[in-house]
Structure 1
Amino acid sequence: MSDFRLQTMSAASAPQRGFSSSEFERRLAKAQARMAETGFDGLLLTTEPEIRYFTGFLSRFWLSPTRPWFLLVPASGKPVAIVPSIGRECFESTWLDDVRCWDSPQPHDEGITLVADTLREVLGEKARIGILEGPETHLRMPLGDFRRLCASLPNTVFADATGLIRQLRMVKSPAEVEKIAHACGLVSGVFGSFAEQLRVGMSGIEIFRRFKIACLEAGIDDVDYLVGGAGRGGYGNIISPPSTRRVENGDILMLDTGSTFDGYFCDFDRNFAFGPVTEETARAYDALLEAVEAGLQASRPGATCAGVFHAMQQILRKDFPGEGGVGRMGHGLGMQLTEWPSFAANDDTVLQAGMVLTLEPSVGLPGGRMLVHEEDFLLTEEGPVLLTTAAPATIPVIA
């Protein structure tokens, strides 16, 4: 593989947690400039990444579906948080000045009256408000509540602002990149030594547990996502929880993790062989490394995601027709495990410097098996820079 590298930071040089107020001010200024261009009087945001993007509010409390959360980003001035009272202290400790709360849960009026009053006060009786309606978004409030909100604001127009938010979040700031790179460096170190913990006869559950513990001990905050599979010469199901099946000689094990540091993900995988690797599997692994190399070579500012996809696909099709049935070969990365855009045949997104992306080619093998490989990289004006330590040239073999 070519020398696409970013020097890995050690746990001792972990980035500072959180962001300065100036980081949020820059994000807000960019958003408001685009709101002016697109005719939005405000944005009403209801989902965790978007609210965190403008406020810095980081909490595992989002796992509970009981309470909705709202953030109003006006066309001028600072955002206004409209949140359950249990979050008052958290939001008052952010850079925001205006935090409005209601006691929750209140199913009969879960903040809707307070949201409507705030929208009228800040934006006026007539306003065009952006919400997220597009692919890879959701509303995260009951549809009935949204209908009641619309009914209480008859002169307000809600319109899709997915494109605006997408353009903001796809390009990462240096402070964001630093956190992603740190997560990549920590987990690269875990993968680099993990073969020492593997033995024939271990169950999938035990392997997953050991990997998570190793990541936490290395300095990762949480292993939010860990999937994988094991099978003779390859694997099939790679998205289910680990099983009690024990690995055998001839198996290939793949672990794919989305681990976080300060709310930012790494997302990559590594393969391990138990016993000798067959010629077919070795050839598939070589093709995946070659495809990643082709993807890196094709990833330049101004290129399209579809172009990078086809560059990888051209390599794989020589010996392994198809893409392993997953539909894309990589994606954006940041506050979410997968973000916009996608390296897919139908995604014409133009790549920009500052994007953090994954390359994830896969090949289908006989018998419903497959092999997958993934790396993370930052796109700069000069080209791609690997954030992960590149996978070994051959699959590590567990004796």
Structure 2
Amino acid sequence: MPEPQALLEPLELDALYITRPENVRYLTGFPHPEDAQVLIAPEGAFLLTDPRYPEAERESRIPARVLKREEREALFQDLRGRVGFEAEHLPYAALERLRELSPAEWVPTKGVIERLRLKKSPEEVARIRQAQALAERALERALTLLRPGVEEREVALEIEFFLRKEGAEDVAFPPIVASGARGALPHAGASEKRLEPGELITLDLGAKVAGYHSDMTRTVALGKPSPEMRRVYEAVQEALEVALQGLKPGRTGKEVDALAREALGRHGLDRYFVHSLGHGVGLAVHEGPGLSPYTEEVLEPGMVVTVEPGVYLPGVGGVRIEELVLITEDGIELLSRFPRGYLEV
């Protein structure tokens, strides 16, 4: 990562105010980024937080200032020139307050730190590996609970409890446990619905470790599913394999997404694939780069993405299989190691 102040000259800025928590953590390592900001100035960058975090100087990689409200306002009153802010994150009311306090010209910016986060360092990849390994252990635990009569939310709660107990900072997102017809809802929250024999069950989960996330999905059968849903499973598995074979540096997200859609189209199922093929994973569980029909971004070594084709039949059920993948110099490395073949429990 370049020195933060090196970002100013290309943007023709005198300072840059960073408020998005993931970007604050990326620049500082501070574990409470939702209550902190970073101000980048020509003389350097420093973390801003409040007296609830007296340990900030020790926990931040860059100098930290623990400021009371009046001290923070005095700091902004001293700003001059062109000061960039994160237009996609800073609320309008907060921007208006900054303009009241400061004579500076507040300039909207977009994606400045996010572009730096696209390619992961070896240290970042190591944290994602840790999060993924922990999530896979949680999935192993969840599979032991799948039997007729168990509520979806019981399984989801056990996943959360296991992850926390085994050292996760947090879950990456509330676990998805979607059985039977609810599997047709791509982001179905776990409900009080009870599992039934012959259903497919989609489990989508991830862990957060040292700020970094994992994300994976498996769809399993509780006994024998219908021939139709078994056919859907095989089609999604094929689409996943085709996409993984085509995923390599130099390809665009749009090109890889098209491979999966074409594979599903050969089975007449592409119209039931209603979301993008994948997304980046790191300090946010959903970040760049994307794998979608609209993504022209070229994939590069060091990027970490999901590959998650799915088919969702309204009123019937759904299948999604998701892998977590590191783009390498000559191809890919699967960070997710959990078996993905057809499984009956």
Is TM more than 0.5 here?
A: yes
- Contact 2:184 2:314 (8 Å CA) reproduced: no
2:40 maps to which residue?
A: 73
1:161-180 to structure 2, matched below 5 A, reads: 162-180=110-128
Alignment CA distance shift 1:217-1:92 (3 Å): closer
SS at match of 2:288: strand
1:96 maps to which residue?
A: 62
TM-fit CA distance, 1:176: 0.5
1:126 maps to which residue?
A: 81
1:283 maps to which residue?
A: 231
SS at match of 1:255: strand
Give 1:272's match in structure 2, choosing from 209, 220, 230. Answer: 220
TM-fit CA distance, 1:112: 6.1
Find out whether 1:85 has 2:45 as its counterpart: no
**What is the identity, as a one-letter code, of the residue corresponding to 1:86?**
R
Question: What's the RMSD between the two structures over aligned residues?
Answer: 2.4
TM-fit CA distance, 1:260: 1.1
Find out whether 1:207 has 2:167 as its counterpart: no
- How many Å separate the matches in 1 of 2:219 and 2:315? 19
Find out whether 1:231 has 2:197 as its counterpart: no
Identity over the aligned pairs, expressed in percent? 27
Alignment CA distance shift 1:98-1:58 (3 Å): closer
- How many Å separate the matches in 2 of 1:97 and 1:154? 25
Find out whether 1:186 has 2:140 as its counterpart: no
- How many Å separate the matches in 2 of 1:91 and 1:240? 41
1:1-399 to structure 2, matched below 5 A, reads: 27-29=1-3, 31-59=4-32, 62=34, 69-74=36-41, 76-103=42-69, 113-118=73-78, 120=79, 125-127=80-82, 129-133=83-87, 137-139=88-90, 141=91, 143-160=92-109, 162-192=110-140, 194-225=142-173, 226-231=175-180, 235-322=183-270, 324=272, 326-365=274-313, 367=315, 369-394=317-342, 396-398=343-345
TM-fit CA distance, 1:116: 1.3
| Cα deviation digits, residues 261-297 of structure 1 (max 9, x gap) | 1111101111121110222222222222222222222
- How many Å separate the matches in 1 of 2:168 and 2:49? 29
**What is the identity, as a one-letter code, of the residue corresponding to 2:13?**
F
- Contact 2:152 2:193 (8 Å CA) reproduced: yes
Alignment CA distance shift 1:323-1:262 (3 Å): farther
- How many Å separate the matches in 2 of 1:151 and 1:187? 46
TM-fit CA distance, 1:254: 1.0
Runs of 5+ unmatched residues, structure 1: 1-26, 63-67, 104-108
| Cα deviation digits, residues 48-71 of structure 1 (max 9, x gap) | 111111111113x83xxxxx6321
| Cα deviation digits, residues 325-364 of structure 1 (max 9, x gap) | 6431110001111111221111111111111110111113
Alignment CA distance shift 1:250-1:48 (3 Å): same
| Cα deviation digits, residues 294-317 of structure 1 (max 9, x gap) | 222222222111111111111111
**What is the identity, as a one-letter code, of the residue corresponding to 1:113?**
E
Alignment CA distance shift 1:355-1:145 (3 Å): same
- How many Å separate the matches in 2 of 1:176 and 1:94? 17
Superposed structure 1 runs of 4+ greater than 4 Å apart: none
- Contact 1:69 1:83 (8 Å CA) reproduced: yes
- Contact 1:80 1:100 (8 Å CA) reproduced: no
TM-fit CA distance, 1:100: 4.3
- How many Å separate the matches in 1 of 2:274 and 2:15? 37
Higher deviation after alignment, 50-59 or 79-88: 79-88
- Contact 1:82 1:114 (8 Å CA) reproduced: no
TM-fit CA distance, 1:155: 4.4
- How many Å separate the matches in 1 of 2:147 and 2:244? 34
- How many Å separate the matches in 1 of 2:284 and 2:312? 27
- Contact 1:57 1:91 (8 Å CA) reproduced: no
- Contact 2:197 2:223 (8 Å CA) reproduced: yes
- How many Å separate the matches in 2 of 1:386 and 1:336? 19
SS at match of 2:206: strand
**What is the identity, as a one-letter code, of the residue corresponding to 2:73?**
T
- How many Å separate the matches in 2 of 1:397 and 1:336? 32
| Cα deviation digits, residues 367-394 of structure 1 (max 9, x gap) | 3632211110111111110000143321
Alignment CA distance shift 1:194-1:70 (3 Å): closer
- How many Å separate the matches in 2 of 1:314 and 1:156? 49
Give TM-score, length-normalised by structure 2.
0.90
Give TM-score, length-normalised by structure 1.
0.79
1:14 maps to which residue?
A: none
Runs of 5+ unmatched residues, structure 2: none
